[in-house]
Amino acid sequence: MTLSIFPMDIPSAFAHKWLFDDITCQVYAMCGVLFSMCSLTNLTALSSVCCLKISFPNYGNRFSSSHACVLLVAIWCYATVFAIGPLTQYIMSCTVIFLSYTFILLTVHRSRRAIQQHQSTKNKTTNAHSLIVKLSVAVCIGFLGTWSPYAITAMSAAFIDTTLVPPTAFAVSAIFAKSSTVYNPTVYLLCKPNFPIHFYRLKILLILDLHNRYTS
């Protein structure tokens, strides 16, 4: 999205008009829909995999890296084929994501009630469950926050006179929707238990690299 859309989007925004030809406009629209849908479908698949591993472990534990590769290929094929129906894709992904995280939260709630009866393993399992709950809530909030303005604007333009929707609304809603590609990986990264350790190691490596450059 950064390589295919922003180089055309940014100069056109400053010029207050489209600076390229009609064919480039069609390519721009196709890339925007394709990458946005692919990102949204990735979130849908990720929530489903999390749901399988937590709520249905008998099936989720069979999920391997080869399954993940096949799933990613299927996601890209799905996004490519159905890129012409973004409104339906929003509705479908939203439903799957919320159902998946609902199952996860219900499973976590039942597990915590069971843990209260077995105090010996309470601390370790409770911490893992708390992490899953925080992750699920953060992803759901991020999904609503990034895609709701786009959905509202798109539906308003579809069912109301397009001239009544200001151009600023289209621009701001698109920015929010595209920010999901940054928000969700950041949430998963920050929620990793060993993230501070890796971040500290990376900081040390950067300092050593800078020191070696200046001393050499």
50 belongs to a structural domain: yes
Summarised one tens digit per residue, pLDDT across range 92-101 is 677 777 777 7
pLDDT for 123: 57
Mean pLDDT of the 104-125 span: 66
Tell me which residue range forms the domain holding 161. 6-215
Q: Considering its fold, how many domains does the chain have in total?
A: 1
The domain spanning residue 182 has which CATH number? 1.20.1070.10
Residue 30 confidence (pLDDT): 79
pLDDT band at 125 (very low <50, low <70, confident <90, very high): low
Q: What number is the average pLDDT over the span 207-214?
A: 68
pLDDT of the residue at 163: 74
What DSSP line would sit under 26-73, residue for residue?
HHHHHHHHHHHHHHHHHHHHHHHHHHHHHH-HHHHTT--HHHHHHHHH
- Spatial contact of 31 and 1, defined as CB atoms under 8 Å apart: yes
Global pTM value: 0.52
Please report whether residue 1 resides in a domain. no
